[in-house]
Amino acid sequence: MRDRTINSPTLASPRALAGRTILHLVVSFFVSCCISSAAAGVSPQGQPPLTLEQIKKLVSIKAPDGAVAREIQQRGLAFTPSRETFSQMQTAGAGVATLSALNEFLPMLDEAKREIPRLLQVVYPALDQGNPNAARSSISADLFSNPSKLDRICKPFSYRAHYIEAIIERPQRHFEALVHVLSKPMEERVYVLSFGIAGSKFQLAEVRDPDNEWFQNRITEAEQLVRKFIYAANAQRSDVEEQCVSPSLVRYLGSSRALKQIQSAPIVGVGSNEPTRVTYYKGLKIRANFVIRRERTAGEVYTFLLDRINDQEKIVAWTQGEGQEGYNPEDFRLEFATLQRFGISAPPPNEPAPDQEVANTPAASPVPQKETLTFVFRHQHINLLGPGNAIYYCWGNLVVAPDGTIRYDCTGTNDPQGRCDHVVFPSGRLDEAKIRMDGGLHLAGKGLGKYDFYGSGAASREALAAVAPLVKR
> Which residues are CB-neighbours of 237 under 8 A, at least 6 positions away?
none
Q: What is the pLDDT of residue 2?
A: 41
Distance CA 458, CA 462 (A): 6
Query: Out of 3.30.300, 3.30.70, 3.90.320, 3.10.450, which CATH number does the structure's domain 109-213 have?
Result: 3.10.450
**216-341: CATH number:** 3.10.450
> Strand (E) positions, 273-327?
277-280, 284-293, 300-309, 312-320
SS3 163: strand
Give the C-alpha distances (Å, rounded to integers) separating 273 from 216, 292, 304, 368: 18, 9, 12, 36
Distance CA 121, CA 30 (A): 52
Q: What are phi and psi of 212, to 5 degrees?
A: -60, -25
Fold of 373-470: PH-domain like (2.30.29)
Going by their DSSP bridges, the two strands 373-383 and 441-445 should be labelled as: unpaired
Q: What is the pLDDT of residue 223?
A: 96
pTM value is 0.59
pLDDT, one tens digit per residue, over 71-98 is: 888 888 888 777 788 788 888 888 888 8
3-state DSSP helix/strand/coil % of the chain, to nearest 5: 35, 30, 35
> Which residues are CB-neighbours of 267 under 8 A, at least 6 positions away?
230, 231, 234, 292, 293, 294
Q: Do domains 216-341 and 373-470 have the same CATH topology?
A: no
pLDDT beneath 50: ranges in the chain: 1-26, 29-30, 37-45, 358-369, 388
Q: What is the pLDDT of residue 368?
A: 44
Domain boundaries, the chain: 57-107, 109-213, 216-341, 373-470
Q: What is the pLDDT of residue 202?
A: 93
Specify the amino acid at residue 397.
N
